[in-house]
Structure 1
Amino acid sequence: MGKKQDTTEPTLECAEDFKPSAPIATGTLPRHGNRPPKTNFHGHIVDVDENESVPSAPPLELMDNVIGYETVSFEAISVPPPLYDMESPDADVSNRDILPNCPQVTEQEARTALLSLVAEHCCYGRDAAKEMAITKINYSSAFHYQLHSFTEKRETSWAYIPYGGGEVDGIENGAPPLPWEIEVYPDALFEDEVKLIPVPHTASVKSCHRCKGGGSLLCAECHGKGWVRCLSCHGDGWSKSTSGYKERCFYCHSSTHGHGRQDCLKCNAKGRVPCPTCDNYGQIQCFIQLTVSWKVNSAEHIVERLSLPEDLVKSVSGQVAFEEEAHQVLPIGHFPDETINMASTQIVHAHAQAFADQKLIRQKQVVRIIPVTEIHYRWKNKNSTFFVFGFENRAYAPDYPQKCCCGCTIL
């Protein structure tokens, strides 16, 4: 019998014994997918399995000390805007006491709106809508007030990307600008948006914390051996033929590691896989990242006196009675409905205090008038009401008298 192959694996030492080599000079770097495992001064392998638990980011103490960014970590930290002179509110109070006339729904239009609602519900009968006697029509208006505050928030954090060579904009190129000194603008007003900006002159090259600079990791499937036990012959290397004789295992006979062993498909029999953190380069470029977030912060108040649900008021179009936009708006004080004036005062003041860590870019407030009609009717000696609202003449009839769920099937 041949000599048994020694499969004993070398002993792994603690990663603390590893001392990284000097940084590689700037330029095009070779990939290290096929390089041998790294060893310490005792000649023992020092490596990391791809499934081994490692820090999610480089140690913070290895990051450069950047003036103005001493407290930055790998978690985003909000940077309050500097104190700046606010522009005087320039709201225009003219014509606030003039309301446009909303169209009034006729009896025929009300019945048509109700028939459209009936057509949308298979359980509603049409007879009630056609035969009901309309006894009274009440006209009213709902008011929908909205305040939109467009704000900007800036956050800083350390970030890193694989480094494969090229220029590095480090602190030797000058003092990094402070977060609010960097000029960044939104693509459009009153639209949510986020931009990520590398802070100039904060970059540096570090050894990869995941693979300790090796560029590759031990394959977790074969644990660095490059092969796995053949499942067909259970590592024996032989299998029985149909005639009962032993023959070489078909599945592992061509393995580069001997019979009974199959080449590891995950690492292509190399025993190592590329490090995903450094993209197989062994180095990462660390820099401070500025996250700029623009957000539309909205608040609203609805005045409706005919028991129509607020969600329905918001869902239809209406007439804009008042609209203004400025760097900072004043509360409305001359609207004919005092409830709107009070709501505007409360909401504007609340927004002035709500965003201490953000910069106010622009504000916009709008008051819409939504026509609401209450129709009283009688059908089969029963009295009830329904509503027609919005310029679309949508109907709302919570107590529609002719409902029947017989024969309905929920699909």
Structure 2
Amino acid sequence: MKKDKKNLCDEDLYKPSAPVSTGTIPRHSAQHGKMGYDVHQTENDVVPSAPPLELMDQVTGYETISFDAVNIPPPSSTRKVSTSIDFSARSIRPTQPHVTEKQARDALLAYAKKHCCYGEGVAKNMAVTQLSYSSAFHYELQTFTEKRETSWTYTPYTGLDYDGVDNGVAPLPWDIEATPTKIFQDEIKIMQVPHTASVKACHRCHRIGTVSCSDCKEKGWVRCIHCNGSSYGKDGDGNKERCYYCYSTTHGRGRQDCDKCSATGKVNCPACDGSGQILCFIQLTITWKLNTSEHITERVSLPEKLVRVASGEVAFEEEGPTVSPVVKFPDETINLASAQLLQQHKRAYKDLKLLAQRQQVRIIPVSTIRYDWKSHSGEFFIYGYENKVYAPDYPDKCCCACTLI
């Protein structure tokens, strides 16, 4: 519903600002204008960053709202997770590939070739003394949540129609329909709550539309940087002459027109963009977020960061509105980790809406190769289906400049 600018009364213009939660600082001085605000303030001055809350319209269901975004927990009825997401679960018996001695030599040789100062003799001449096989387990839990926050906000009023309180009752935050573009993907959507908009006099310029230019301090000119304000310079022969740069300006005599305000001393108010009025409304911010936790179990000295990115086989996966702890997995640490992480997510996101969960267990094959080379006895690891190598104590190095891969 469109409102006429004439409906704004003078008391709206200069009504004293109550402290707002955004931490604004009123200016007080004998030179200040009505109700303690500087009538010559510039766009860089410390002024109220938002209109006084008491000027905002009373909206049913939003009585305690401020200009700070506040999380609104979902009603108990909406915490019942949706059943629209397909549920799937499958169990797999992964094959456990066994690396042969030849495959171990080839993998170590390829590893050495990637390092400029690694000798290839270890891979070619080592005596393999033991080959052993194990598995690393990577458990991952993902919880997809929705958070809704509300706050007052404002934009410059451009004169267009707006959806005010006269158009109906504003819906509550969780009554507004909104769905993520894609499940299990971070996304933020910002929208205006229907029937909450109103036009107010600008709290910064008091409906004037302009503020003093901060560059020229409302004078309309700045000192000429070429003659340093003297209005004279020197020609190529060193003779004194009128400064070319400020000679033909509006103010002249060592003064240059201020470019920022076009020599007027005034610039558009940054709050209302020169219109003198602002459109206030309640803003709803919806945040969909993928929250991930994980647990890695490995029986050898293989860094977790390598297990995390290594290829493996999915032994178990489950997806649905909610998931239950993993049970009867051969490794008990995975069962315990699943139960603990599910409880952590339940506590951590109790004030959010749970849209979906999924969990997965991957098995990463790991081979440990013990060997003798010259007088050195060592070991290295081959992991993942790409047969990646981890050899932290490679014995044949000619310098220390190489980075282990």
TM over 0.5: yes
Distance in 1, matches of 2:313 and 2:251, equals 80
Which amino acid letter does the alignment assign opposite residue 222 of structure 1?
A: C
What is aligned with 2:140? 146
Change (3 A) 1:207 1:320: same
Distance in 1, matches of 2:116 and 2:164, equals 70
What is aligned with 1:371? 365
Change (3 A) 1:274 1:133: same
**C-alpha contact (below 8 Å) 1:163/1:285 kept by paired residues:** yes
Question: Structure 1 residue aligned with 2:61, among 68, 72, 85?
Answer: 68
Change (3 A) 1:238 1:302: closer
What is aligned with 1:130? 124
Partner SS, residue 398 of structure 1? coil
Which amino acid letter does the alignment assign opposite residue 75 of structure 1?
A: D
**C-alpha contact (below 8 Å) 1:18/1:40 kept by paired residues:** no
Bigger Rg, which one:
1
What is aligned with 2:49? 56
**C-alpha contact (below 8 Å) 2:13/2:203 kept by paired residues:** no
109-118 vs 196-205, greater mean Cα deviation: 109-118
Distance in 1, matches of 2:120 and 2:237, equals 82
Aligned residue-pair number:
372
1:189 Cα deviation from its structure 2 partner:
0.7
Question: Structure 2 residue aligned with 1:202, among 185, 196, 199?
Answer: 196
**C-alpha contact (below 8 Å) 1:151/1:360 kept by paired residues:** yes
Change (3 A) 1:19 1:152: closer
1:284 Cα deviation from its structure 2 partner:
1.2
What is aligned with 2:3? none
What is aligned with 2:280? 286
Distance in 1, matches of 2:11 and 2:194, equals 33
Percent identity (aligned): 56
Question: Structure 2 residue aligned with 1:178, among 172, 182, 193?
Answer: 172
1:199 Cα deviation from its structure 2 partner:
0.5
1:59 Cα deviation from its structure 2 partner:
2.0
What is aligned with 1:20? 13
What is aligned with 1:351? 345
What is aligned with 2:75? 82
What is aligned with 1:169? 163
Change (3 A) 1:349 1:237: closer
Distance in 2, matches of 1:301 and 1:246, equals 80
1:172-321 residue pairs with structure 2 within 5 A?
A: 172-238=166-232, 247-321=241-315
Once superposed, which parts of structure 1, at least 4 consecutive aligned residues long, lie more than 3 Å away?
Answer: 17-21, 85-96, 229-249, 406-409
What is aligned with 2:26? none
Change (3 A) 1:380 1:80: same
Partner SS, residue 61 of structure 1? helix
> Unpaired runs of 5+ in structure 1?
1-16, 22-38
Distance in 1, matches of 2:365 and 2:225, equals 76
Instruction: State TM-score, norm by structure 1.
Output: 0.83
Which amino acid letter does the alignment assign opposite residue 220 of structure 1?
A: S
Instruction: State TM-score, norm by structure 2.
Output: 0.84
Distance in 2, matches of 1:101 and 1:408, equals 35
1:222 Cα deviation from its structure 2 partner:
1.6
Distance in 2, matches of 1:70 and 1:299, equals 37
Query: CA-atom RMSD, angstroms?
Result: 2.9
1:91 Cα deviation from its structure 2 partner:
11
Distance in 2, matches of 1:109 and 1:146, equals 30
> Unpaired runs of 5+ in structure 2?
1-9, 15-31
Distance in 2, matches of 1:48 and 1:285, equals 22
- Relative to its length, the structure with more helix (as a share) is 2
Partner SS, residue 361 of structure 1? strand
**C-alpha contact (below 8 Å) 1:143/1:370 kept by paired residues:** yes
